[in-house]
Amino acid sequence: MRLFECFAEKGFHTSIVTTFNVDLNAYESISLSRLREAGCRNNILIADDRMLGYALGSSDARPRHAGRLYSIVGARATGVFHPKLILQLGREGGRLLVASANMTAAGLAGNLEVVGEVRAGDDDVAALPLLRAALEFVAGFVADFALPRKQIEWAMRRTPWIHEQTDGSIVDLEEGRLGFLSSNGETGIGEQFADLVGRRKVSRLLVASPYWDLDLGALRRLRARLGAKSVAVLLQPKNALFPVHALGRKDSIQLFGIDRVKGTTTTRFAHAKVFIAETNAGDCVLYGSANCTQAALGVDVAPGENEEASLYRELPPGTAVEILGLEGALAEELSVGDIPKFEPAEDIPLKDLESHLPGRFELSELTLRWWPPKGASVTDAEIELSDRDGKPVDGKLTRSGSSDAPARYHFEGSEAPYFATVCWPGFKSSPGVVIVEEAIQKAQRKSSTRAVDDALSQLDDVDASEGLWLLDIMHKLAVAEQKALTEADQNSARQRTKADKPARSPGRVLTYEQFIEGRSGINPEADTPASLLGASHQDSVRTFLNALIGKKGPLVRSADEEDEVPKLSMGDETDSGETALEEDERFNTEQQHGTKAKGVKEEESQERRKYKAMRDSRQSIVKAVRSCQETFQEDAALGALGVVELLRLRVLLAVVLGAGSRVADPVPTGSDSTGIRAVLPISGDDSWRRLIGNLLFDFFRNHGGLRKPLIEKVVLDIDDEVGLPKDVLECWATCYWAICATRVATSDRGEVIVPLKSENSIAEDLYRYTQLLPSELGGETVRSIFAGMSARYAERLGVSVTRLEEEHRSLLSAVSQGNVSQGMR
């Protein structure tokens, strides 16, 4: 196969690629472009940390989409991080490609390489242990709680078949055993290979490798361990990389030119690594990243110092040479005199590269986290941020907290940075990629359809305000996203009875109670995960709500998620599909319709603004609240409630608060400065206070009997060792503000309406069930929601901000001194 072609296959949502040397432009233009076009939008690239630093050090080779459309991990090893594998996961199946090729243009399309493919899935789990072993191997190089780790967890929740119980990394197939061998075993790859060959008599050992020990130590040891009668070495003489001086007269090692392999030219670098132990019972083949060196294969039983990955496969006798097309190369032996004197390859200054590493950077909303290199001083460090062209980014970093691992900074700026460089007195690091959580989540979203784009465009209307139209948008997005699921998604998704209820991700989820019981009590709010909705277009509704109350939106430019990844032509694609479409009058809508489309668009915009500003009446809001109450109960009866339902609750609270007033019988005569009309009275059955109480009653009131509070049905796709996601915190903060507002609001006559006993119980249960940590209650998320809602709603509703905050603190105190430890029981 041509390796670069494999990325165009559809049916996978996630890819994890590992490499030693890395060309980020080649990855983006050859691999990433094909992956995303094929619907694979959750992508991780893992490279040797020093080689990654080297790649980022050149201004000409800086990537355009790292940290935005894919995450990147610098992996560390005692020797070098050297595995070259591609792991792709989908809802119904996955595949593992183990190769000798680096993620470079030469590796993908130029060198002579070897690659093996293994597949598993719903309909065939025979090779599942290999994919599980490979996933465990690569995940070991991703730090806990890092954003790439969250991507792996995201993938696991959408890959149901991978959770089948399997052990080991070797499987027995009809034609023989198949195995995934890696350097994280107790013994080296060479010893693992020898153990699999076992007691079978090896008539010949064939080895193809571009690099060797100076004394051929690994080759001699492997031959002795296997008891091979003869050894055949395939090499490329012109490279002068084989230590011919190490051959002894009694070695009886045959040398062959790999340039004679069919399809190979002398200009192609032979980078393949293959070991074939030929026996009467069958051929035992090892291939992948491991060179014939002790650093790769190990010494005796000890693992080598490199991190490596290879596949083991057993074939019928004599077929390995045929499959690999080695007959021509083995037809004529080379003489020792034909082999040029050994010339060592140019050394890579790994130690110098390591000394310039900047550490790891992640940006989540306005918090920049920096994991410094080992031994680096955080106190003396100054971080310089730059855009993707290397130009300084406008913004200010302010240190927050005292932790050094990670060090946290509050970022004030209008645009998220692409790179970070660390400066110490007299020293400057190489650039590091800043992984932006919101951008990675957007990259994970399925490609938007016309229906999604139309719904999202309504959220961009600067004149829009909270209203029931937001519920329509949520419904449209849910329906559109459901339709956008592939046939495989639909087969594996849980069956539903409502079109607007999105399919839940299979995999491990926690009820809210389980999460609260299992989480750490010392989680800093600065490490709060981003929105669980981030990989869904529903997150745009959350962003709209935040914008209404003055919360700053994501710092990622809208162009980041829309930019087309440039595609490096391999001679089989049209240079510009977009240009081709524009030049074809059959597809050029502007030529077909002239200015008509523009007029229709303007008319639609006017209708939307009119609809958003004027449609909601007292009756329609009351009806919508009651309808959603019924929907929440029905959905809870069917299964569980997720973050989409929490967002719907937050939308309803915002609609009710936005339409509320401080008079007993408001008469809507027009919109106020926020663009909405006050139609809900301060008292009575249809009052905004009563509607708020009804919504929160269903979610939090533990009133006994058969109806349990809906919060018991809330589930989160999240690890219990991390904090609450921001979207959940935002919902709870909205609930806090709303319930406090109902308790302190005064009428237009200055009258205080005393809460009923049942309303007191609702407020106490709300705080008791949500059980936020002090760091969360006093953190930026809750504080900003309170401040924003006070600014938008307090005056219209007759709410004193001072009294509201006092009520909030009073309820917290009452619950903390009462029965809070009992949780939901």
| Closest to 309 in 3D by CA, of 612, 96, 452, 547 | 96
Instruction: Check whether residue 176 and residue 150 sit in a common domain.
Output: no
Instruction: Check whether residue 204 and residue 244 sit in a common domain.
Output: yes
Does residue 479 belong to any structural domain of this protein? no
Instruction: Check whether residue 692 and residue 708 sit in a common domain.
Output: yes
The number of C-alpha atoms within 13 Å of 137 and in the hemisphere containing its C-beta is 30
40: left (phi over 0), alpha (psi -120 to 50) or beta: beta
Task: Provide the pLDDT for residue 352.
Answer: 92
**Per the omega criterion (within 30 degrees of 0), is the bond before 243 cis?**
no
At 244, which CATH number? 3.30.870.10
pLDDT digits (tens, 9 = 90+) for 698-711: 999 876 656 788 99
Q: What is the mean pLDDT of residues 380-397?
A: 92
- The mean predicted confidence, pLDDT, of the chain is 84
Does residue 577 belong to any structural domain of this protein? no
Q: What residues are paired with 421 via a beta bridge?
A: 384
Does residue 724 belong to any structural domain of this protein? yes
Of 442, 472, 493, which closes a domain? 442
Task: Provide the pLDDT for residue 723.
Answer: 74
> Of the given ranges (211-220, 350-359, 482-491, 533-542), which has the lowest mean pLDDT?
482-491
When mean pLDDT is compared over 49-53, 494-498, 580-584, the highest value belongs to 49-53
pLDDT digits (tens, 9 = 90+) for 279-322: 999 999 999 999 999 999 999 888 999 999 999 999 999 999 99
Instruction: Check whether residue 192 and residue 180 sit in a common domain.
Output: yes
pLDDT digits (tens, 9 = 90+) for 70-118: 999 999 999 999 999 999 999 999 999 999 999 999 998 888 999 999 9
Instruction: Check whether residue 328 and residue 186 sit in a common domain.
Output: yes
At 375, which CATH number? 2.60.40
Question: C-alpha angle with apex 535: 533 to 539, nearest 5 degrees?
Answer: 40
Q: What CA–CA distances, in Å, run from 407 to 400, 439, 631, 775?
A: 8, 21, 44, 17
Instruction: Check whether residue 317 and residue 355 sit in a common domain.
Output: no
Does residue 631 belong to any structural domain of this protein? yes
Question: C-alpha angle with apex 411: 406 to 417, nearest 5 degrees?
Answer: 90
Does residue 467 belong to any structural domain of this protein? no
How far apart CA 565 and CA 655 sit, in angstroms, is 40
Instruction: Check whether residue 747 and residue 656 sit in a common domain.
Output: yes
User: Whole-structure pTM over 0.85, yes or no?
Assistant: no
Q: What is the mean pLDDT of residues 735-745?
A: 95
Quickly list DSSP for 649-670: HHHHHHHHHHTB-SSSS----S
Strand intervals (E) in 593-733:
715-716
More confident site: 669 or 425 = 425
How far apart CA 55 and CA 66 sit, in angstroms, is 12
According to DSSP, the β-strands at 71-75 and 42-48 are parallel
More confident site: 215 or 815 = 215
Does residue 532 belong to any structural domain of this protein? no
Instruction: Check whether residue 249 and residue 371 sit in a common domain.
Output: no
Task: Provide the pLDDT for residue 503.
Answer: 38
**Above 80 in pLDDT, residue 325?**
yes
Of 338, 364, 381, which closes a domain? 338
Of 134, 169, 204, which closes a domain? 169
Does residue 505 belong to any structural domain of this protein? no
Instruction: Check whether residue 161 and residue 183 sit in a common domain.
Output: no
pLDDT digits (tens, 9 = 90+) for 244-263: 999 987 888 999 999 888 76
Q: State how many domains the chain has.
A: 4
Instruction: Check whether residue 287 and residue 321 sit in a common domain.
Output: yes
Q: What is the mean pLDDT of residues 54-63?
A: 84
| Closest to 189 in 3D by CA, of 86, 302, 84, 357 | 302
More confident site: 667 or 563 = 667
| Confidence band of 824 (pLDDT split at 50, 70, 90) | very low
| Confidence band of 502 (pLDDT split at 50, 70, 90) | very low
| Closest to 696 in 3D by CA, of 732, 728, 662 | 732
Task: Provide the pLDDT for residue 592.
Answer: 37
Task: Provide the pLDDT for residue 803.
Answer: 95
| Confidence band of 613 (pLDDT split at 50, 70, 90) | very low
Quickly list DSSP for 763-774: HHHHHHHH---H
Task: Provide the pLDDT for residue 761.
Answer: 84
Sequence-separated (6 or more) residues with CB below 8 Å from residue 738:
653, 656, 657, 692, 696
| Confidence band of 598 (pLDDT split at 50, 70, 90) | very low
Instruction: Check whether residue 190 and residue 288 sit in a common domain.
Output: yes
Does residue 128 belong to any structural domain of this protein? yes
Instruction: Check whether residue 215 and residue 244 sit in a common domain.
Output: yes
Q: What CA–CA distances, in Å, run from 179 to 86, 117, 135, 290, 301?
A: 16, 12, 14, 15, 18
> Of the given ranges (54-63, 136-145, 366-375), which has the lowest mean pLDDT?
54-63
More confident site: 576 or 694 = 694
Which DSSP category does 800 fall into?
-
**Above 80 in pLDDT, residue 385?**
yes
pLDDT digits (tens, 9 = 90+) for 650-666: 999 999 999 999 998 88
Structural domain span for residue 421 = 350-442
Task: Provide the pLDDT for residue 97.
Answer: 96
